Structure 1
Amino acid sequence: MYLADEAWPDLETYFAEESLAIVPLGSTEQHGPHLPLATDHLIAEGLAREAAERSGYLCTPTVNVGVSPHHRQFHGTMWVDAPEFRDYVESFTRNLTYHGIDRVVYVNAHGGNVEHLQEVGRRLHADETAFCVEWMWDESIPDLVDDLFEHNGPHGGPKETAMIQHLRPELVHDDRLDDAAEGGVREFEKYFAGEVEPEGRPPMVNGARTFYDARDNSENGVFGDQTDATAAKGAELFDAASEQLVQLCEWLADADYEALMPADHV
Structure 2
Amino acid sequence: MYLADQTWPDLGDYVAEESVAVVPLGSTEQHGPHLPLATDHLIAEGLAREAAARAGFLCTPTVNVGVSPHHKQFHGTMWVDPPEFRDYVESFSRNLTYHGVDRIVYVNAHGGNMQHLREVGRRLREDRAAFAVEWMWDESIPDLVDDLFERNGPHGGPKETAMIMHLAPELVREDRLEEARDGGVPVFEDADPYRYGARNFYDAIDNTENGVLGDQTDATPEKGEQLFEAATEQLVRLLEFVDESRFEDLMAKPHVDPQPGSRR
TM interval, shorter chain, is over 0.9
**Correspondence for 1:32:** 32
**Correspondence for 2:214:** 224
Shift of 1:263: 1.3
**Correspondence for 1:100:** 100
Aligned to 2:245, which of 242, 255, 266?
255
Aligned to 1:214, which of 201, 204, 208?
204
Shift of 1:259: 1.0
Shift of 1:262: 1.2
**Correspondence for 1:179:** 179
1:170-209: CA deviation from partner (whole Å, max 9, x where unpaired): 0000000000000111012xx2xxxx3x5xxx42111100
TM-score by length of 2: 0.96
Q: Unmatched 5+ residue regions in structure 1?
A: none
Q: Runs (4+) of structure 1 moved beyond 2 Å?
A: none
Q: Unmatched 5+ residue regions in structure 2?
A: 257-264
In the alignment, the residues of structure 2 paired with residue 223 and residue 244 of structure 1 have an alpha-carbon distance, to the nearest angstrom, of 26
Shift of 1:131: 0.4
Look up the SS of the partner of 1:17 in the other structure: coil
Letter of the 2:250 counterpart? L
Shift of 1:13: 1.2
**Correspondence for 1:140:** 140
Look up the SS of the partner of 2:16 in the other structure: helix
Give RMSD over aligned pairs. Answer: 0.7
In the alignment, the residues of structure 2 paired with residue 242 and residue 6 of structure 1 have an alpha-carbon distance, to the nearest angstrom, of 23
In the alignment, the residues of structure 1 paired with residue 133 and residue 92 of structure 2 have an alpha-carbon distance, to the nearest angstrom, of 15
In the alignment, the residues of structure 1 paired with residue 167 and residue 103 of structure 2 have an alpha-carbon distance, to the nearest angstrom, of 28
In the alignment, the residues of structure 2 paired with residue 206 and residue 86 of structure 1 have an alpha-carbon distance, to the nearest angstrom, of 32
Shift of 1:264: 1.2
1:161-172 alignment to 2 at 5 Å? 161-172=161-172
1:198-247: CA deviation from partner (whole Å, max 9, x where unpaired): 5xxx4211110010000000000001000000000000100110010000
TM-score by length of 1: 0.95
**Correspondence for 2:87:** 87
Look up the SS of the partner of 1:46 in the other structure: helix
Shift of 1:77: 0.0
**Correspondence for 1:160:** 160
**Correspondence for 2:64:** 64
**Correspondence for 1:238:** 228
Letter of the 2:74 counterpart? F
